[in-house]
Chain A
């Protein structure tokens, strides 16, 4: 489950940022991918909400700085993610 969710998460990010899902790890961030701007940040968050059936407040979105932060947040919301 946890691994499946991780694959889904990587695919969401890869699709929206137009990169290869295999290149994504916890350190992937706006520093490593130029297309990750605030608009795409929102798009990622909204897609994550839909895919995993959770809700994110703007405050929560604002504190996400890399993929690792997203993974932590999912786990905190009881979505197991490796």
Chain B
């Protein structure tokens, strides 16, 4: 990102007072993996004070999950570092072959989602730090806050499918105190973490139903049960995202709102379905019967993301991985 060059030392010194959690995360990250200095500088340059505020929030959640143990916190950061390197390595391979390395959902399940240790010590921590330091996750969260939370009513059931750590649902139920929550994931290890996350956010346990279920199949939920659905970073993990979207449409009540995201030509430790363009995702969403209301495209590349024109150009470059997120209604 071509943003004003930030003096990290100065930033850390200032943030120590105002945003101690953010300062600690940056300090530990660049100490353990100095190669992330430019990422920290870019994020602070591009998103300023909001970056620090959000980082503080995420760090409070991570601290809670780590029971305040600084060693565990460092291990969580190392998980993020490995996750990023793994991504970069697989992405380079993807650019050569045009294929993601995983071809079989069941294999992915046994290697990751069914392995509590892998999910709880590696995967979910890596994702939580991505929300702080990776621009695509950061912008997804920003879209969630500014384009979704403020558009849903507070009188029904918010259902998060593929909730993982549960950050989105925790926040949605905090800001919508009259709503009930449903947290669905295929991974038992993830559901345990989501439960703790909602505890941290002081969401009464009788407000949330946690369920292991599989979005590849018919969800064990009634038609129209949710007035809001969150399904972020899930579609690209499935062999048949079109089926999944039909299923989300089925459980959404008429007039309801869905937050949906997709990774486009972007590998990861567990991506399966290759979306080639944002338009492909939009087509699928509309084919499922949902109406697009607002969307954002986040190219993962060096450039000034504040400049709409540059962002659009980068997003059109077939070699650049892109994050897509939208709000749709039924």
Contacts and interface: CB of A to CB of B under 8 A. Distances in A.
Given A58-B82, A62-B82, A38 B89 contact: no
A21 to B, nearest CB: 20
Contacts of B35: 30, 36-38, 40-41
A1 interface: no
B150 interface: no
Contacts of A34: 37-38
Interface string A1-43: 0000000000000000000000000000111001111111110
B81 interface: yes
Contact of A66 (B34, B81, B84): B34
B88 A31 contact: no
A80 interface: no
A34 B38 CA distance: 7
If over half of B's interface residues share one DSSP class (helix, strand or loop), that class is named, otherwise mixed; here it is helix
A79 interface: no
B33 interface: yes
B92 A38 contact: no
Contacts, number: 52
Interface on chain A toward B: helix, strand, loop, or mixed SS?
A: helix
Interface residues of A, number: 20
A42 B92 CA distance: 10
Given A59-B82, A62-B82, A65-B33, A42 B88 contact: yes
A59 B122 CA distance: 12
Interface in A25-74: 29-31, 34-42, 45-46, 58-59, 61-62, 65-66
Contacts of B13: none
A27 to B, nearest CB: 12
Nearest to B42: A37
18 contacts: A30-B34, A30-B36, A31-B37, A34-B37, A36-B34, A37-B35, A37-B38, A37-B39, A38-B81, A38-B85, A41-B85, A42-B89, A46-B89, A58-B86, A62-B33, A62-B81, A62-B85, A65-B33
Interface of B: 33-39, 78, 81-82, 84-86, 88-89, 92
Interface of A: 29-31, 34-42, 45-46, 58-59, 61-62, 65-66
